[in-house]
Amino acid sequence: MGQGLQPPIPAGGAWEFSWLNLSSPDIIVVVLMVVIFILAIALPFPGGKE
Amino acid sequence: MSKNWTRSLRDRLQQEIPMEHLLPDTLPKYVDSYVYLFGVLTLAAFVWIILSGTILAIFGPDWWHVSPVGHFFNSLHFWSIQSFFFFMILHLWAQFLMAAWRDGRHFTWIGGWLMFLVSILAGLTGYLSQNNFDAQWIAVQGKDAMNAAGIGGFFNLLNFGQMYSLHIFVLPLILILLLGGHLLLIRKHGVVEPLPPDPKSEVRQG
């Protein structure tokens, strides 16, 4: 009882392997970083002034 | 003219970083990409961290844990740090993939890594400075790692005063000095040129 309120407070469901343990917020952040990085490369930059 | 520290420093600066390099009004064409914004976004997040952190330091833990305005600035500090690390990692990927250490820019690259490591230390001391049960838990768990590493004697995670002083004075000072050097080096060398085209891919096209 009240296990979830004892620190360390779990961040959510985890994607777990022996070599990797990512919580869902971890996965969201990593995926967001990859998406933003790809968009930053792919999207044309506005302007082009002299 | 006789030798003079001020004059020799001025001559040195003019030679190393002339004003046209220090405050340029044009940039190369290849900088027209969002990839080049991650560094300045990290810098902007750092400014927000310093501003919100200064307000937190003025009013103290009683305020940031109890007052609604204190909660707001606590959250502002937290989210500034999230975006600081977020954009720092993206900046790291971008600079790694464009091999930004080329043509004498090695100290810019090394300085960036140093700032990354100091930032992690600032993050740890920040967690320890929260003054809540989470901070206590992290200190009690982390002290064993510090003792195992042999540095527990002079880096005591249970000592709030030490952790707080490191967090709000020593580590920000180191970061600001490193950051100043990082920015000066970027202005001195300019933005790294794009990588030359791969000769193998040219052969395939031809």
Partners of B38 on chain A (C-beta within 8 Å) are 40
Tell me which chain B residues have a C-beta less than 8 angstroms from the C-beta of A8.
Answer: 137
Task: Look at residue B204 and tell me whether its pLDDT is greater than 70.
Answer: no
- Tens of pLDDT along B172-182? 999 999 999 99
Q: Where are the domains of chain A?
A: 14-41
The first and second tokens of residue B125, run together, are 């001391």
Task: Quote the Cα angle for B50-B51-B54, to 5°.
Answer: 80
CB contact under 8 A, A7 and B94: no
Burial (Cβ within 10 Å: 0-12, 13-18, ≥19) of residue B136: middle
- pLDDT tens figures, A8-39: 666 666 666 667 778 888 889 999 999 999 99
pLDDT tens, position by position, B71-80: 999 999 999 9
A48 chain-B contacts, CB cut-off 8 A: 32
> What does the DSSP 8-state code read for residue B27?
-
B181 vs B190: CA distance, rounded Å = 14
- Amino acid identity of residue B86, one-letter, is F
pLDDT of B206: 46
Give me the pLDDT at residue B1, please: 61
Q: Name the helix (H) or strand (E) containing B32.
A: none
Residue in B32, B86, B137 nearest the CB of A45? B32
Q: Which helix (H) or strand (E) holds B178?
A: helix B171-189
A-B contacts at Cβ under 8 angstroms:
32
Asked if B37 and A37 come within 8 Å (Cβ–Cβ), the reply is no
Instruction: Tell me how far apart the alpha carbons of residues B68 and B79 are, in angstroms, rounded to a whole number.
Output: 16
Question: CA of A17, closest CA in chain B: separation in Å?
Answer: 23
Identify the band that residue A1 occupies on the pLDDT scale cut at 50, 70 and 90: very low
Chain A partners within 8 Å of B32 (Cβ): 45, 47-48
CATH number, domain B103-192, options 1.10.10.10, 1.10.357.20, 3.40.30.10, 1.20.810.10: 1.20.810.10
pLDDT confidence tier of residue B46, bands split at 50, 70 and 90: very high
* Distance between CA atoms of residues A41 and A22, nearest Å: 26
